[in-house]
Amino acid sequence: MNVLVVDDEADTESLFRQRFRKELKAGTLSLEFAPSAESALEFLERGTADLVLVLSDINLPGMCGIELLRQIKERYAHTAVYMIAPFNDEARSAEVERAGAAALLTKPLDFDELKRMMSALCP
């Protein structure tokens, strides 16, 4: 499974790679990282095969997370998008859901739950 993680925090990659070391070692997962919405969209345009999931932080420099979400949903409707926010509230979850996100996750991430959700995506 191919997953794109969009987050401006540099250490997010180090974190994810350690968290998913088993899967990565096993080759069941491949992770890509983009520091901004724009670079994420560029990546998507390059058409890397089988991007199943985009995990994006809501707060991004430049284009914000919600806009990225919309763009992805518009152009790459088959790609699921999980949004990550520092906290959750009804307004946000409604908005996110409206924009087409499959889920809204809050930091700190529950990686076990994430792994479960991801495995559900890819039978």
To the nearest whole angstrom, how small is the minimum distance from the Cβ of residue 95 to another protein?
A: 16
Query: How many beta carbons lie within 10 A of that of residue 77, not counting itself?
Result: 9
Decide if 4 contacts 53 (C-beta within 8 A): yes
By CB under 8 A, name the one of 46, 87, 90, 91 that touches another protein.
87
How far is residue 23's CA from residue 26's CA, in Å, rounded to a whole number? 5
Answer yes or no whether residue 119 interacts with another protein by CB under 8 A: no
Q: What are the distances in angstroms from CA 59 to CA 8, 10, 36, 90? A: 8, 14, 10, 17
- By CB under 8 A, how many residues form the interface with another protein? 14
Answer yes or no whether residue 8 interacts with another protein by CB under 8 A: yes
Nearer Cβ to another protein, position 8 or 23?
8
Answer yes or no whether residue 88 interacts with another protein by CB under 8 A: no
